[in-house]
Each structure stands twice: as structure tokens, then as C-alpha cells.
Chains A and B, each alone.
Chain A
Amino acid sequence: MAENNHFIERSLMAVLVLFKESIFSEDCASRKGFLQARDPRVKALMIFVLLLAALFSRSIPFIAGIYGFCLVLALVSSIDILFFWERTLFFIPFFSLFIAAPALFNIFTPGEPLASFHLFGMAVSITKQGAASAGIFFLRVLTSVSLCVLLALTTRHSVLLKVLRVFKVPQIFVMIMGMCYRYIYLFMEIIQDTYTAIKSRCGNISSSARGRKIVAGNIANLWRRSYDMHNQVYSAMISRGYSGEPKVMDEFRAGLKDWLCLGVTLSVFILSLWQNQYLN
């Protein structure tokens, strides 16, 4: 019977995980460290350029080098490396490893055999080309995820949203994102409170059909409350002087160290383009 309560536990867990990640991110972003001290605009550009370098590169050692650089950046930015691995290795890269595994075999990637064996009476071999293909795919995904997480861990989320203005994202979108970000936490609190109340009042949910009804009711009620709220929020904005044109306060200042870092990452990107051409 308790199995039918899994959906409540898992929903509560999803909310808690997001809260936990967010608290850890804010904690990391407020520590003293190399990336925390960088101008957020330059830092975002650096990470984006490194992402592009990893995306364009065709060489396993080169992408491994970028990943190594990413780990060094994490270390000098006061991020516990075990926590960083826990945050970056699981889920997307692990899932990608699972996806990449069949590409090792000659069924998907024919080529020079590295190891051969029989599977269900069929001759199967791991090919050199398959290993290279799966390896570059996994390493690229791992490096990209690590870079994105590094940016999120070393920059306050509110600052990161302001940085979007550098990339010429229209102010209205930046404002919507900022508001949305705050509402996500409010909604998560609502979900947490609602499910805790259901759990304490209903005990076990007798069937999965009843469970689905509860979820549908909760989603519909959340939307109803959200819709009602938007009028109140708009009235609050008007009363605080909103005239239809949002203003974002930018107080970023880039120093020599920031520009040097950007120069280094741009060189990495140019190198990736060059070796891309060379390897082609």
C-alpha cells in the first residue's frame, strides 16, 4: 500500500534536491575564490568560450585538457572537488555513458577490433573507432556539464541573470527570468506544503488512480493560485513605479586579471578551431 505514496515522496524529494542545490550554489558563490572574484560578464564569456572550444574540438586529449582546466578552476574557486564531482558526474554524464556504451561495439561502429567475445551466440567485438567515438562523446558531455555547473556555482543567480544583458537579451526577458526565478521557489514551497499536508492528513493513498487525481488537482490549483497572483503582482509593480520599461542595475567592473583570463580562454578556443582544421 505504501508504494502508492511514492509519488508524494518523490515530488517532495525533487523539491528538496532543488532547494539543496540552490543553497549550495549560493554558498559557493559567496565564498572567496578565483572565479568568484572575476567580473561576472567576463566569467560568463570565459565559460561560454570554453564550452565552444569543447564543442568544436575533435581531439580527446584537447577536451581532456579543457576538463582538467575546469577542475583546476573549481579547486582555486574553493569548491570541494568531491562535491563538484557528485554534482557533475551523476545523471547527465552517467546517462551519456550508458548511451555511449553500445557505440563501442561493431554492431553500431564497425572497425578495427580491440577485443572480441561471444554474446548470445553472436560474435561481438569492441572496435577502436567505437571506443574513440564513445570516448569523445562522453568526455565532451562531461566537460560541458562541468563548465555549466562551474558557472552556476561561482555566480550568484541574480547576478547571472543580469549578465544576460551583456549578450543583448532584451530587458523584458531578463526581467521575466528574474521574476520567474523567484516564483519557482514560491511554487516549490507551495508544493512542499501541499504534499506534506496530504501526507499527514490522508496517510496512504489507496490507488494510483486516486494518486493521479490528487496530482491533477494540485497542478490545477497551483495554476489557479498563480493566475490570481499575477494581478496582485502587477498592482504591486505599478505601486512601486513600474512604467512598462524595466531597469536593471549594472555595476560590473572588469580589471586586468579578468581580461587576461578572457584572453587565455580565447586562445584555447582559437587553438580548438586550429586543431579542428588540422585534424580534419
Chain B
Amino acid sequence: MHIPDGYLGPATCAVMYAAMLPIWTAAAKIVKKRLKAKQAPLLAIGAAFSFVIMMFNVPIPGGSTGHAVGGVLAAIILGPWAACIAITVALVIQALLFGDGGITAIGANCFNMAFVLPFIGYYIYRLAGSGSQVGSGRRVIAAGIGAYLGINIAALCAGVEFGLQPLFHHTTNGLALYCPYGLKATVTAMLGGHLLIFGWIEAIVTASVIKYLQKKFPEMLYEEGAA
């Protein structure tokens, strides 16, 4: 899901940056209004939390391990707008300081992982869990469904971004300049992996953490959607 530099053409990169600009502005305004002066340390800690979630390897059946992105989890505990900023900061640090993920692709990466993933996942969680108690089992299932659908829709977006490259960027004799595969191949590849493996890891981790929070620290869930 993490798009490196060179996969997307300059026009796509520019469009994705342009698409994220109003989202970042709105997120900054909303979070500033709701979290007031305490926003900076909470957001910094939230961003660091988003960064390190990926370091938790989860055992999956068959003896292997995988890791979650944690976008929907961050949205459920921080609120979608604050999660958007936290994940953006984590992605920028990852690209700039650790050389992972692209600098020119930050707009696209943020669109998929800091906007689509937390927002879709969070609102599906709210919809599926509406009318239920914060500590109910339905909320746990709703978190799992939200995480599963959120990451799959984000993967679909990444697949579409990849698949559009041969259409937008090619030479006069049809030579693909960036990602060389069309929509059919990229969407199948991105969705295949996420529908079968990564989506389940994301769902299991998100649901398990929400269940644990319900049991041990229920007060943390009462503040959901604060930002």
C-alpha cells in the first residue's frame, strides 16, 4: 500500500497533493478547534503511535506473521480528523527521515492511508455499531468490519492510481513510463492480497485492541470521535 517514488507519474502526484491540501487544511482547522492548546502533544503522540503500530507483528495461522497499518484503530481512538493528521505526520517522517515511501508520492500515500482508510473505516464502524453500547460485542465486530473494508477500499484506490499510469503516461509508441500495468492487473493484485490476507490482519488487530480497551480501559472509548 505504501507507494514509493517512481510508481506514479508527475501529474498523478500533483493531483494527489492537490486533493490532500483541502483535507489537511480542514483537518488542521477541526482538530485545532476541538483539541485546543493540548493538540500538539496529543497529535505528536498519536502520530508516533501510528508509526509504531506497524512494528507489532501479529501471528497468523500457519506459523507466519504480518503487521497491521492501524489507520482505522487510530481513527476510532483519536477521531478521524486527528487520525488524518497523525497518519500524515507518520508518513512524512517515514518518507523523509527513514527513506521509506516516496517524497513525491506523499500526497497519494496520505490520500489512501491518512484519508480513505481512517474515514471509510471509522464511518463504517459508527454505522455498524450505531445504537449499541460502547462496551458491546457489536462494537468489536463493527471495528473489525470497518478495518477490513477501510483497508480494502484504500487498496482499491492505490490499485486505481497504479492502473491509471499507463493511460496517462506513455510514449507515442505506447511505452509505459511509470507503473507498467493497466487497471485490470493492478486492481486485481491490490485487492487480491488485501481481501485474502492483509484485510483480515487489519480486522483482527483492530477488533482485538478495541475488545481489550473495552475490558481494561473503557474510559478511553468514551472519548471516541472527540476530534
Residue pair B89, A141 in contact (C-beta under 8 Å)? no
Interface size on B, residues (CB 8 A): 73
Pair B65/A10 contact, Cβ less than 8 Å: yes
Q: Is the CB of B178 within 8 A of A137?
A: yes
Q: How far is the CB of A60 from chain B (nearest CB, A)?
A: 11
A117 within 8 A of B: no
Contact B65 A160 (CB under 8 A): no
Interface pair A58/B97, CB less than 8 Å apart: no
- Whether B89 and A176, one on each chain, are in contact in the complex, defined by CB atoms closer than 8 angstroms, is yes
> Would you call A132 and B175 a contact (CB within 8 A)?
yes
Write the chain A residue with the least CB distance to B201. A212
Q: Please measure, in the bound complex, the distance between the C-alpha atom of A148 and the C-alpha atom of B100, giving whole angstroms.
A: 8
Chain A residues packing against B (C-beta within 8 Å): 3-4, 6-8, 10-11, 14-15, 18, 21-22, 25, 48, 51-52, 54-56, 58, 87-88, 92, 96, 100, 102-103, 108-109, 129-130, 132-134, 136-137, 140-145, 148-149, 151-152, 157, 160-161, 164, 170, 172-173, 175-181, 183-184, 186-188, 191, 205, 208, 211-213, 215-224, 226-227, 229-231, 233-234, 237, 244, 246, 279-280
- Besides the known contacts A213-B208, A230-B38, A230-B42, 17 further A-B residue pairs in the complex with CB atoms under 8 A apart: A7-B58, A7-B59, A10-B57, A11-B57, A25-B97, A142-B6, A144-B102, A161-B97, A175-B40, A177-B47, A179-B41, A212-B58, A221-B216, A226-B48, A227-B45, A237-B41, A246-B40
Residues on B facing A (Cβ under 8 Å): 4-7, 9-10, 13, 28, 37-38, 40-49, 51-61, 63-65, 70, 73, 77, 85, 89-90, 92-93, 95-100, 102-104, 171-181, 185, 204-205, 208-209, 211-213, 216-217, 220
